Chain A
């Protein structure tokens, strides 16, 4: 078995399942956005889809659920879907368990949360206090203070914390999982400087490196960060000579294709990238890469959607498309796959030939090119 990344059509929202070579399953964000009362809502029934996949695999848990940050479009509906340890009301039959919960430090520290965000925070706090089943990304001073307020020390929880610039323990390209995760964000220092949690900028950005045969394939998951944060990541990586950790074959486009993740000005028809974004996209993107926008369909110029301030932005898409074309690669939108009228989950398969966005191979009943006659005479 080789690794697969499955993206779900959820409008402007994220949920990507990693099926690793050793059978482990990781979920990056979970946002059940569909309005079941609206029959014209084309977004997928996410809990149904994920549960069916788990049933086929005969399991009721994910090895890892990573919430890159606690905005609604990354954690909506989690309280109805997951089996959570901190309160018995989240432990009914049919709920999906999480072996290890991964969150940014901000998810522990932020106050005044509601709904799903609050539920995930409570679960993360519970697990961190308990000292197992949790991984926290970055260690701002406030995390130390929070731990001390709860009668714990940073040292006693250090093994559960991974900082930017480190690999996540337990995953290696040399192991049966054949993948490793390098953390780019959040930065502890920025959270020390800011009074208020800036969820998007303090979200988890990582590079997954898969190894199949001798072929390394890199996937960069950019969560919802903007161009300033990308600039910082690029400069930090360059300073530490970690340019390779920003190479990518698969690019989970930041923030549902918002122009703010490319540059400060939207531009007339194409957003102009900052120097660092330009380097990240144009220098680090590999031949025939795939850029995936987890978003609604890109609006047509002059349409009502085009005038909307919310992403996806046509101008941002124009820039990504140009990069994709330059690399003989593809720019894809989750809500357009395989067709905008019937969006379905899309899988990228990682093989010794790199990443392949499955279109035809994944279809049911795909006829074999060569068929052998069933009768002989």
Chain B
């Protein structure tokens, strides 16, 4: 079967895996070459130094049912495309006729179809991404496509995922009547060139509107989805032709109708065009959902008319020089491609929203850096600022979009503004003090922000992480130069609880340590059952893969944010580390669970760091004692951070009921274990995973691994190899002596923890 021409023309062939530049590409290719990826065969390696990408070609054996939902083949050829500089891999199908399924990304015209195997932002995904993980996700994606199970119940059936730098905020009114073109005036803020905020144009305005909106409705019956992002007007016309829209004919008719010397004619033809297409979503229970796509022209309507041969510029001495006349006879369309830029459509919200937060002032001048000016960050900082607290620096890289207004502390006047700057302005207004805004992502700050960010973090007395990002939280936790205590606050996904992790004053317990203890608390405290359960489908605010916002009522967000604001102040008044959860019950009651942080031990065992806390050791010791004189044991759950090569053991499960235990040995059983591990993984929203095994030694014996243990550890290493993890074994012995052993490399490294 011929491979997609993209593959054969992409860069040059690479003979040896060692020649691949991206580390992940090398890993993936070597695993495939070694036959370590079941169902995957290497078909080639290519890379392009010019483009800065490497591609690993793979044949994937697909798990298929007999009756296919989509014509996925038993063997599919795909390429994993990886940037030299590291970053999110793209997966493209190497056949020209890859079927139209859900969960694909738009690709450039003529390019191969792109599978969306992972919709998480790269900063989050890289924590768990390994070559094995990529391989498995590709296989799962294809298996689900074959079964018709790609559809995520949390999302309405979606046309192809599409991300654009550009956003167009469009009033609904601009689309109200498709017979008369809607005219909108647009403004682009100097601090966010990528968002065009439009409002209905004022006909008396002498300035031409930014855009004239041409809205089209795609026919549901004939609807074929756009699979490539068109980059010229001609390409768009081709694509829309498949949806029953004759774009070029429509355009020519309208442009001819607009020709003339009248003021309105001149104004329209001097503006650019925004072609907005309404795609009815065809499948599933969300029939009423429309998907909006906008395509902005670079040229004005008049220039386009000239290029299409239907207009000519007003070269006569009569009338406005900017006017256009109908070309008679019609000329041939020019060859110059008319470039267009796709934009995400954001609709302006109705004005039925308000958030009133009551507060009272208490003075506190400590320097605080707030990372994440989202709903929680903005609300807690506004609440604290209203109490007169903290000299703030706000860091955030995002811009305020319409859907943010539901729970955010900022208002419609700041629409499109960088959240950091707008929030800083608001806080500054409350405090009547200047508040610094650093518009950056703390994980990847631009060079010009780096110094300011470093200074702010170094000088801070409190760092408040409200980013709702595990990646950011761990990054802040690890910052070497900052002395400030860190606190981290986030809502659970259903928005019924808020969590506050506070480091102790000497920082011997960091946010990373507390993260693991938080998960154990969630698993073991009956009051927290369902804490991390997802609440059902989110709300889509634009047509992209990640564009889901949680359904959390503003009132809950406000209550929980205010509780956290209070909690930060009281937690900082004490020196201990604490984990606090407030849960808002349907009857309006709020319950609180609070635990002191337990001391943590970090062990460097070769390439990996292992961490565990006193709470875990207490659990192990208690389970050991309960089974004496016999041995006992079970499964270890923990947080594995691939990018840091660290395993934080969070929780130990007791022995399954079919385990065989004696005074000299222990063999862990299997009854209910898969269910228990799956339940724990689900209860922590995939933050915890299986990381290894523990068992006890009887009285009067050492905690060091026996020869049987070492054999077992080797087996464990072998099993966990597929997960990209070392085998990990914990042993609990008499008098609270423990040892932890890792399988990798071949020789076991042991650390004795008294």
Residues of chain A whose beta carbon lies under 8 Å from any beta carbon of chain B = 52, 55-56, 58, 215, 217, 249, 286-289, 328-330, 338-339, 341, 351-361, 363-377
A367 proximity list for chain B (CB < 8 A): 128, 133, 136-137, 140, 686
What is the chain B residue whose CB lies nearest that of A354? Answer: B66
B279 at the interface (CB under 8 A from A): no
Query: Interface with A: B12-20, B245-253, B467-475, which one?
Result: B467-475
Given A339-B35, A356-B66, A377 and B150 contact (CB-CB distance below 8 Å): no
* One of B69, B124, B495, B658 near A373 (C-beta < 8 A): B124
Residues 91-116 of B at the A interface (beta carbon under 8 Å): 103
Q: Which of A355, A363, A368, A377 lies in contact with B376, CB distance below 8 A? A: A377
Known: A369-B144, A370-B119, A374-B685. A341 touches B133 (CB 8 A): no
Counting CB contacts under 8 A, is B403 at the interface? Answer: no
Known A366-B136, A369-B141, A376-B550; contact A58-B63, beta-carbon cutoff 8 A:
no
As a 0/1 sequence over residues 55 to 80 of chain B, the CB contacts with chain A under 8 angstroms (1 = contact) are 00000010111111100011000000
A287 lies within 8 A of B66 (CB): yes
B375/A359 in contact, CB under 8 A: no
Please name all residues of chain A whose beta carbon is closer than 8 Å to the beta carbon of B532 when the two chains form the complex.
374
Query: Interface code B141-185, partner A: CB below 8 Å = 1, 0 otherwise?
Result: 101100100101010000000000000000000000000000000
The 7 listed contacts between A and B (C-beta, < 8 Å) are: A56-B674, A351-B65, A354-B65, A366-B140, A369-B103, A371-B686, A377-B374
B687 with A374: CB separation less than 8 A: yes
**A354-B722 Cα distance, complex, nearest whole Å:** 29
Please tell me which one of the listed residues B39, B466, B671 contacts residue A338 in the complex, with CB atoms under 8 A apart: B39
Give CA–CA (A93, B376) in the complex, Å: 60
- CB distance B550 to A358 under 8 Å? no
CB-defined contacts of A373 to chain B, threshold 8 Å: 120, 124, 468, 493
Cα–Cα distance between A175 and B427 once the two chains are bound (Å): 69
Contacts of B470 in A (CB 8 A): 374-375
Q: Residues on B close to A: CB < 8 A?
A: 35-36, 38-39, 61, 63-69, 73-74, 103, 117-120, 124, 128, 133, 136-137, 139-141, 143-144, 147, 150, 152, 154, 372, 374-377, 466-470, 489-493, 495, 532, 534, 550, 552, 658, 669-672, 674, 684-687, 689-690, 722-723
A330 and B374 CA atoms in complex are apart in Å by 51
Are the CB atoms of B143 and A361 closer together than 8 Å?
A: yes
Q: Which of chain A's residues have a CB closer than 8 A to the CB of B377?
A: 377
Q: How far is the CA of A52 from the CA of B667 in the complex (A)?
A: 12
Contacts of B118 in A (CB 8 A): 369
Separation of A377 and B658 alpha carbons in the complex (Å): 43
* 8 Å CB contact of A360 from B36, B63, B491, B723: B63
Q: A56-B670, A353-B66, A371-B686 are in contact. Are A360 and B493 (CB under 8 A)?
A: no
Taken together as a complex, chains A and B put the C-alpha atoms of A364 and B685 apart, in Å, by 16
Contact A372 B68 (CB under 8 A): no
With A356-B64, A360-B140, A367-B136 known to touch, is A52 a contact of B372 (CB < 8 Å)? no
In the complex, how many residue pairs between chain A and chain B have their CB atoms under 8 Å apart? 140
**Residue of B whose beta carbon sits closest to that of A365:** B723
Could you tell me if A374 and B38 are in contact, using CB atoms closer than 8 angstroms?
Answer: no
Residues in A whose Cβ lies below 8 Å from that of B141: 369
Closest chain A residue to B538, Cβ basis: A372
Query: How many angstroms from the CA of A58 to the CA of B687 in the assembled complex?
Result: 30
B287 to chain A, nearest CB (A): 22
Contact A215 B552 (CB under 8 A): no
A329 to B36, CA, bound (A): 24
Q: Which residues of A have CB within 8 Å of B492?
A: 375-376
Interchain CA distance A337-B259 in the complex, whole Å: 71
Report which residue of B38, B466, B672 has the largest number of chain A beta carbons within 10 angstroms of its beta carbon. B38
Point out the residues of chain B lying under 8 angstroms from A341, CB to CB: 35
Say yes or no: A377 contacts B685, CB within 8 Å: no
- Is the pair A376, B671 in contact by a Cβ cutoff of 8 Å? no
| A370 contacts B35, C-beta separation under 8 Å | no
Given contacts A58-B671, A359-B139, A374-B493, contact A369 B117 (CB under 8 A): yes
- A359, B140: Cβ atoms closer than 8 Å: no
A354 — which chain B residues lie within 8 A by C-beta? 65-67
B495 x A369 contact (CB < 8 A): no
Closest 9 pairs (CB-CB, A-B): A354-B66, A377-B468, A353-B65, A374-B685, A338-B38, A360-B139, A375-B490, A375-B468, A376-B491
Name the distance in Å between A249's Cβ and chain B's nearest Cβ. 6
Q: From residue A361, how far is it (CB to closest CB) to chain B in Å?
A: 6
Smallest CB separation, A352 vs chain B (Å): 8
Whether the Cβ atoms of B374 and A369 lie closer than 8 Å is no
**Residue contact B154 to A288, C-beta cutoff 8 Å:** no
Pick the contact of A376 from B36, B38, B136, B490 — CB < 8 Å? B490
In the docked arrangement, what's the CA distance between A176 and B162, Å? 46
> Cβ of B723: which chain A residues have Cβ within 8 Å of it?
364-365
Tell me the smallest distance from the CB of A151 to a CB of chain B, in Å: 44
> What's the Cα separation between A55 and B35 when bound, in Å?
33
A375 to B492 alpha-carbon distance, docked (Å): 5
Interface residue from B38, B66, B490, B672 paired with A377 (Cβ < 8 Å): B490
A352 nearest CB neighbor, chain B only: B67
Instruction: Indicate if the CB atoms of A364 and B63 lie closer than 8 Å.
Output: no
A47 vs chain B, min Cβ distance (A): 14
Other A-B pairs beyond A56-B671, A369-B150, A371-B686, 11, CB < 8 Å: A58-B671, A339-B36, A353-B66, A353-B147, A359-B61, A366-B140, A369-B152, A371-B120, A373-B120, A374-B686, A375-B470
Tell me, in angstroms, the Cα distance from A133 to B723 when the chains sit together. 45
Complex Cα distance, B585 from A41, in Å, reads 58
Cα(A330)–Cα(B64), bound, Å = 10
Cβ–Cβ contact A357 & B66, under 8 A? no
The answer to whether A360 and B686 have CB atoms under 8 Å apart is no
Interchain nearest-CB distance for B120 vs A (Å): 6
A288-B66, A360-B136 as given contacts; A374 in contact with B684, CB under 8 Å: yes
Contact check, B67 vs A359: say whether CB atoms are below 8 A apart.
no
User: A377 to B137, Cβ gap below 8 A?
Assistant: no
**Chain A residues positioned under 8 Å from B658 (CB to CB):** 55
Determine how close the nearest CB of chain B comes to the CB of A353; give it in whole angstroms: 3
Is the Cβ of B671 less than 8 Å from the Cβ of A55?
Answer: yes
CB-CB under 8 A from B722, the residues of chain A are: 363
Report whether A288 and B137 are in contact in the complex, using a CB–CB cutoff of 8 Å.
Answer: no
Question: Which among B74, B143, B469, B686 is the interface contact of A375 at CB below 8 angstroms?
Answer: B469
B494's closest neighbor in chain A, by CB?
A376
Cα distance A289–B671 when bound, in Å?
33
Could you tell me the distance between the alpha carbons of A368 and B154 in the complex, rounded to whole angstroms?
13
Known: A369-B117, A371-B120. A364 touches B140 (CB 8 A): no
- The verdict on A376 contacting B493 (CB below 8 Å), with A56-B671, A58-B671, A367-B140 known, is yes
The one of A249, A352, A359 that contacts B39, using a Cβ cutoff of 8 Å: A359
B-side contacts of A358, CB under 8 Å: 63
Contacts of A55 in B (CB 8 A): 658, 669-671
In the bound complex, residues from chain A placing their C-beta under 8 Å from that of B467 are: 377
Question: How far, in angstroms, from A171 to B169 measured CA to CA in the complex?
Answer: 63
Cβ–Cβ contact A360 & B133, under 8 A? no
Given known contacts A287-B66, A355-B65, A358-B63, A377 and B136 CB-to-CB distance under 8 angstroms: no
A286 to chain B, nearest CB (A): 7
- A366 CB contacts on chain B under 8 angstroms: 136, 140
Residues of A within 8 A of B124 (CB): 373
Shortest Cβ gap from A339 to chain B (Å): 5
CB pair B670 A52 closer than 8 Å? yes
B35 to chain A, nearest CB (A): 6
Choose among A330, A338, A360, A364 the residue with the greatest number of B CB atoms under 10 Å from its CB. Answer: A360
- Residues of the A chain whose Cβ atoms lie less than 8 Å from the Cβ of B671: 55-56, 58
Considering the complex, give the chain B residue whose CB is closest to the CB of A58: B671
CB neighbours of B469 from chain A (8 A)? 375
Are B372's CB and A377's CB within 8 A? yes
Distance of A271 Cα from B444 Cα, bound (Å): 62
Q: Is the CB of A369 within 8 A of B61?
A: no
B669 cross-chain contacts in A, Cβ below 8 A? 55
A129 to chain B, nearest CB (A): 35
**Chain B residue contacts of A375, Cβ below 8 A:** 468-470, 490-493
Report yes or no: B136 in contact with A372, Cβ–Cβ below 8 A. Answer: no
A52 to B671, CA, bound (A): 8
